[in-house]
Amino acid sequence: MKRMTGLVLAAVATVSLVAFTRSSPPPTCAPDNAGLTLPTGFCATLFAESLSAPRHMVMAPNGDLIVAIRTKEADTGGVVVLRDANGDGRADQRAKFGKFNATEVRLLGNALYTENTTSILRYHWLPGAMSPSTEPDTIVTGLPAERGHIAKTFVIFNGRLYVNQGSKTNTCQEKDRAPQSKGLDPCPELPERAGIWRYSAERKGQTLKDGEHFAVGIRNAVAMAIEPKSNELYVMQHGRDNLADNWGFTPEKSAETPAEEMLHVTRGADFGWPYCYFDPDLKQKVLAPEYGGDGKTVGRCAGKTGNVATFPGHWAPNGLLFYTGTSLPSRYRDGAFIVFHGSWNRAPLPQQGFKVVFQPMSKGKANGAYETFVEGFVGADGKATELGGRPMGIAQGRNGELYLSDDSRGRIWRIDYVGTRK
């Protein structure tokens, strides 16, 4: 019976693949771009709504959008598969599986990878399917998830999983986020958290001890991507908080500091957390006050690995995509789209972020200023607009279009280029 069921599933999958794999022209976009503010020549359609906290996404070869779902209120999270069967730019079929808190999802051939904060899971994925054919294999288990930054975002390259294991605390203090509380030195989190670990993407049943501690001193890297020209790992770091509340910096300085950083992550690199942070005014890493810093002293931070691009403080980068498609103007193939979730701690300045930017790149580093690509979630006063929400993940479609998720209000947009190419 199990064999017969498998044959039926395979047959259905084949039919589905034939029926739903197609290259179609861009759909008719919403007159108001479904609330988004976009550059000239771009338009948007609300691809899906009424989802529970959609996070990162990946597109299957047949055009289905596979979405990691974070647990929210009564929803238990898991993975949702969205299908636009009639090609109008809106998902008209959906299927959900799994009951776990997920941020990441990646598809590699017939293997669908996701995470549940303590483990990396792998499902066998039939072409054209909307649900897995088996229970998942556990590739890595026992990952640390006590408090703090618990999402285990990851990328897969050349048979390896590169996993973000974010910090448990803000700055590794004796008492987390407490005024004048000194930092623990050495920080006891670093052997298991606040860095990137590398595991086999194939071997089942791995634990923390089986992983290679690939890079250290990264507070939290929700946004991760392999840069396609170099085939090397890049991440976006969430910078530290509480310089004003805990250490007497001015509120304005604390609102802008530290910068959010794009990091080129190589084997053995040490980016300095919790001992260091990047000051955008001084344009360098400086010693954290928890470890005796005064906002200017470099000290032990002089030897730490630097960044390749910086962005305003507390914008919370959660999505990173190096564009490889051809439907957008060619200049977008020379840079990165970065999704900022938005700030909560920039008072007395207006809250900022809540947008997607495009960062031009050259030879692995920023090449000029970033450009705002998607906005409209907050006004100039930092307060939510009628659109509201918090942008989260970004994915590239089969035909070069983009998909953007909002995990606050449960929406996903499709973004197309319809203007003149340059």
CB atoms within 10 A of CB 345: 16
Locus of tokens 């790149």? 361
Asked whether residue 18 carries a pLDDT value surpassing 60, the answer given is no
Domain ranges of the chain: 142-399
**Can you tell me the distance from the alpha carbon of 26 to that of 256, in angstroms, rounded to the nearest whole number?**
39
**pLDDT one-digit tens code per residue, 281-326:** 999 999 999 999 999 999 999 999 999 999 999 999 999 999 999 9
Cβ atoms 214, 143 nearer than 8 A: no
Question: Which residue from 348, 349, 368 is spatially nearest to 357, judged by alpha carbons?
Answer: 368
Q: Is the backbone peptide bond immediately before 274 cis, with ω within 30 degrees of 0?
A: yes
Asked whether residue 415 carries a pLDDT value surpassing 60, the answer given is yes
What is the amino acid identity at position 316?
A
For 161, the token pair is 């999983």
Number of H helices, E strands in the chain: 3, 27
Mean per-residue pLDDT for 246-271? 98
pLDDT at 24: 53
Burial track 305-336 (b if 16+ CB lie within 10 A, e otherwise) = bbbbbbbbbbbbbbbbbbbeeebbeeebbebb
Asked whether residue 421 carries a pLDDT value surpassing 70, the answer given is no
Query: Which parts of 195-327 fold into alpha helices (H)?
Result: 243-247, 251-256
> Mean pLDDT of all residues in the chain?
93
- CA dihedral sign of residues 196, 200, 206, 209: negative
**Can you tell me the distance from the alpha carbon of 87 to that of 25, in angstroms, rounded to the nearest whole number?**
9
**Can you tell me the distance from the alpha carbon of 97 to that of 78, in angstroms, rounded to the nearest whole number?**
6
**Can you tell me the distance from the alpha carbon of 403 to that of 295, in angstroms, rounded to the nearest whole number?**
40
For 285, the token pair is 């890493």
Mean per-residue pLDDT for 144-155? 97
**pLDDT one-digit tens code per residue, 94-149:** 999 999 999 999 999 999 999 999 999 999 999 999 999 889 999 999 999 999 99
Beta bridge partners of 240: none
User: Is it true that domain 142-399 has CATH number 2.120.10.30?
Assistant: yes
Mean per-residue pLDDT for 205-223? 98
Q: What does R_g of the chain's alpha carbons equal in angstroms?
A: 21
